[in-house]
Amino acid sequence: MNNKNKKIIIFIAVLIFFANSLNSAFAIEENTPQETKKPKFSWFKKNKNNASKDDTSNNTTTTKKLNNKKTRVEDIKLPQITEGRPKIPFNKLSVMSIDDCVEYAINHNPNLAVSTQRIEAAKSGIGQARSNYAPKLTGRINYNHNDTRATAASTNNDSAGFNVGISEMIWDFGRTTAKINMAKYDTESAQYDYDYDVLDVVYNVRINYFKVLAALAHLDIYEQNVRIQTLNKERTQAMFDEGLKSKIDVVNADVNLTDAKIQLVEGQNNLQIALINLKNSMFFQEDEPFIVENTENFNFLKTSYKEKIESLTTIKPSENKIKVNKDGLIMLSSGIEHKDIIQNFEFVPMTISKKEAVEQALEMRPDLKSNEMIARVQEESLKAIKKQYLPEITGDLTWGYTKYDGRYSSPLQLGASVGLGSINPMGIHYQVKEGESLLDIAYHNVNIAKTDIFWEVQTNYVNMRQLERQIPLMNLKVKATLENFELADGRYSVGLNNYVELQDALTNYNNSQLNFVEAVFNYNVARETLLKSMGVK
């Protein structure tokens, strides 16, 4: 191998090494934790002296803040992409708290996996924008045959050769920088969209968890009612045998016991449906059931959930004995398990003001942040469009080898150039107008989102507080109806009232317990709705 061929091989190897080095330099590091830069908007912080002017100056203030902020590529920090969390170990009949169910859902929900891939796709756009700074490799092999015929003489010659080169854009006066910024803001927007999807998953799981707890509380009430009705039938039958009550009371007691058992079966079915809905919202993939537990403000569950699960299709017989007082009167109330729904119930109100809730929502709502990032994308897009009028500086390195007529040439060229390329002033003009309109739309969408959040949070806050005030009053009603039922029971046993009055008192007592459970459920739903509107997971 002669020196000339050695030089050619060495030069090609250098070109390949140089290209690989540049490619590594422009590669994007994956999963690098970085701090997310939060654009600041001052829409909610109103001037006390000029509160009436806020609406008219809203768009102007937002636009000035966004336009006056000079952003470089290095200033933009990408949010950390949420990693797949480790799956929760699951054992037969294991206890799963509401937070465990939420965690399980986040790990198994395929919609969140789709959102994660959207983030990855958006992040690859950053590399595509950065690739404009990477070198472009060219290679060419050529062969030419020239045959010239003329009156005086004719000539022909052949030539063959090749050339390779590197061309790299050095600076385009910010167009590429703007495109990189666009891709970064687009990635942030995708991350916030993912966060909002997580928020929706958390909300659905928690609401379905509360539905299971409500179904369990209803089941406790229905089971207690079956025990009471069983005792009442046994007592009425005993009093009929002694000639103290008529046959119609015995028949009515039997009918009411049957109704109570039917209601219990319906309650068991409602519990099964609530469990199915909870597992569905979790994308539950296990064959075995699990045990739920009380939450801070939904603590009605007093019996073993395992026993309830294993006996959903059975009705427990009465285990209580009819008791007789010192005067020989048969008393039902003495045999009742005083285990009503409000026993040991605790309630912890949410300590936050309406203003704090709104401010927190404007700070944390991921859908609002996504809209803000879209506005940033449109800003950078408009910058890139306007800079199409500016030139581009490029550098070139080429080397070739050509052989013809027994001779050869091997030029090496290194140079730089400044050029405008192909410019269409009219097309750019209308692109700018379109970009300005899209940017105004993005600004308006930000303000619309803030307005919606402002009123949404206030509505949810007022609704939660209204339900919160009902709970102590309904607690008192349960106590009053229980006392009324016990009094009616005592009067019935001595013949001072009839069977209808006794059943009315029992019905009022059961309904007050069911209504109390419903009020607590509605409060917890309203509380979760407020937290979701605040962006709290």
- Retrieve residue 414's tokens: 């290194």
Could you tell me what percent of the chain has a pLDDT over 70? Answer: 73
DSSP 413-448: EEEEEEE--S--HHHHHHHHHHHHHHHHHHHHHHHH
CA 111 to chain centroid, in Å, comes to 10
Per-residue model confidence (pLDDT) at position 140: 86
Quick count: other Cβ atoms within 10 Å of Cβ 216? 24
Q: What sign for the dihedral angle of Cα 94, 99, 102, 108? A: negative
Answer yes or no: are the C-beta atoms of 339 and 227 closer than 8 Å: no
Query: 446 pLDDT exceeds 90?
Result: yes
Q: How far is CA 167 from CA 137, 142, 183, 401, in A?
A: 7, 20, 24, 18
Q: Render pLDDT for 56-86 as a digit per residue (tens, 0 to 9).
A: 444 444 444 444 555 554 555 544 544 444 4
Query: 110 pLDDT exceeds 60?
Result: yes
Q: pLDDT averaged over the chain?
A: 79
CA–CA gap between residue 372 and residue 189 (Å, rounded): 8
Q: Can you tell me which residue has the tokens 């500016």?
A: 390
| DSSP H helical ranges for 327-424 | 354-364, 366-386
Answer yes or no: are the C-beta atoms of 488 and 505 closer than 8 Å: yes
Q: Which residue has the higher pLDDT, 408 or 70?
A: 408
In a 10 Å sphere around its CB, with 0-12 CB exposed, 13-18 middle and 19+ buried, how is residue 489 labelled? Answer: buried
Answer yes or no: are the C-beta atoms of 126 and 76 closer than 8 Å: no
CA–CA gap between residue 16 and residue 13 (Å, rounded): 5
Per-residue model confidence (pLDDT) at position 334: 43
DSSP state letter for 35? P
Choose among 201, 195, 29: nearest CA to 119. 195
pLDDT grade for 28, boundaries at 50, 70 and 90? very low
Whether the predicted model's global pTM rises above the 0.85 cut: no
Q: How far is CA 297 from CA 129, 133, 135, in A?
A: 51, 58, 62
Q: Render pLDDT for 340-376 as a digit per residue (tens, 0 to 9).
A: 566 667 788 888 999 999 999 999 999 999 999 999 9
Per-residue model confidence (pLDDT) at position 151: 59
- Retrieve residue 284's tokens: 């539950």
Query: In the predicted model, what is the mean pLDDT of residues 180-206?
Result: 95
Answer yes or no: are the C-beta atoms of 18 and 10 closer than 8 Å: no
Per-residue model confidence (pLDDT) at position 176: 92
CA–CA gap between residue 71 and residue 78 (Å, rounded): 14
Q: How far is CA 141 from CA 12, 198, 331, in A?
A: 14, 55, 109
Per-residue model confidence (pLDDT) at position 48: 40
Query: In the predicted model, what is the mean pLDDT of residues 144-165?
Result: 72
As a whole number of Å, the CA-based R_g of the chain is 39
Query: 148 pLDDT exceeds 90?
Result: no
Query: 336 pLDDT exceeds 70?
Result: no
Characterize the bridge pairing of strands 330-331 and 136-149: unpaired
Pick from 164-173, 258-267, 303-312, 391-400: least confident: 303-312
CA–CA gap between residue 279 and residue 289 (Å, rounded): 10
Query: 400 pLDDT exceeds 50?
Result: yes
